[in-house]
Amino acid sequence: MAILEVREVSSGYGEVQILWGASFTLEKGKLTTLVGANGAGKTTTLRTVMGLIKPWQGSVWFNGQDVSTLSAHEKAEMGLILVPEGRQLFTDMSVEENLVMGASPKRAQPKFAQNLERVYGFFPRLKERRDQKSGTLSGGEQQMLAVARGIMADPVVLMIDELSLGLAPVLVLGLFQTLKQLKAEGITMLLVEQNVQMALAVSDYGYVYSHGKVELNGPSRQLMNDAHVREAYLGL
């Protein structure tokens, strides 16, 4: 069953069009990835889906409802959550205060204690540093916190933009391991990721972006094993 549908969406910034009729669907409980070259429109897609940018054309459907015109806040209350590129933490606040902020949607508040225990289980290092200002954390720890803050919102769909950006390989492996754990728990995820091989290795289904639209799609393993796809679209 499709939990999120993006139908022929076009959008951009100012007068600059970035998306040209992008379409894809997310199946419940699956990890789906959007891959493609820098500038292909992947981050713009997430921002449009979240409501940070209004679609110029097309529509976004979440849980069978047209949410195209809803604000990011309204979508977060429904369980559509974005972990943005660049983390965007409250750097003067402690780790735990950032996690409290993550649980601000009303739907998440009854599960606060349960989700806090859950994220500290995923990221023991954050528990050790819970009273530390988030701005003093390492890059890897900050990315852990950004993902943990997203989980605190009790997402129905968790969208993650550039999970591995700027991180050492050993930290990237740990974060992708966490994605596998989240998938095992049944969380539906949409991942935008520059590390194409890693993204396709952990995901169920992939969409390949080129020039603001989806050029092709298929099961992740199939995309990885297609020599033409690897060379023409993925730079592998």
For residues 82 and 53, is the Cβ–Cβ distance under 8 A? Answer: no
Band of the pLDDT at 49, cuts 50, 70, 90?
very high
Q: Which CATH number fits domain 1-74+199-236: 3.30.565.10, 1.10.10.10, 3.40.50.300, 3.50.50.60?
A: 3.40.50.300
How large is the average pLDDT for residues 27-51? Answer: 94
How large is the average pLDDT for residues 52-78? Answer: 96
pLDDT on residue 236: 64
pLDDT on residue 77: 96
Chain segment 178-218, per-residue pLDDT in tens:
999 999 988 999 999 888 888 999 999 999 999 999 999 99
User: Any idea which of 103-107, 169-173, 219-223 has the lowest mean pLDDT?
Assistant: 169-173
Bridge partners of 157?
Answer: 80, 188
How large is the average pLDDT for residues 16-28? Answer: 97
For residues 204 and 220, is the Cβ–Cβ distance under 8 A? Answer: yes
Chain segment 222-233, per-residue pLDDT in tens:
998 888 778 877
pTM: 0.93
Count of CB atoms situated within 10 Å of the CB of 231: 10
How large is the average pLDDT for residues 162-168? Answer: 87
d(C-alpha 228, C-alpha 56), whole Å: 33
Task: Domain ranges for the chain, please list them.
Answer: 1-74+199-236
For residues 59 and 7, is the Cβ–Cβ distance under 8 A? Answer: yes
